């Protein structure tokens, strides 16, 4: 097994991990109610996904 002779610096580690940054999730507009929701997920406002009802939402009390 490989055994490093010298310690790897913080800058080198940061360069290697630079592509693992957190990214903002892609948002989409619901075709049913027009609300914004995370792409490829059920709309939290109306419960529709890809034009079909996925979750039955009760009326607001």
pLDDT in tens, 33-50: 999 999 999 999 999 999
User: Domain segments of the chain: what residues?
Assistant: 24-61
The reported pLDDT for the residue numbered 59 is: 65
Distance CA 31, CA 42 (A): 11
pLDDT in tens, 18-35: 887 778 889 999 999 999
List Cα–Cα distances, 60 to 28, 49, 57, in angstroms: 24, 20, 9
Contact in structure between 57 and 47 (CB atoms under 8 Å) = yes
């Amino acid at each position: 097994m490989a055994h490093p002779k010298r310690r790897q610096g913080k800058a080198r580690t940061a360069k290697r991990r630079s592509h693992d940054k957190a990214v903002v999730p892609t948002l989409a507009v619901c075709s049913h109610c027009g609300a914004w929701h995370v792409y490829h997920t059920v709309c939290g406002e109306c419960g529709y996904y890809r034009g079909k009802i996925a979750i039955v939402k009760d009326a607001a009390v």
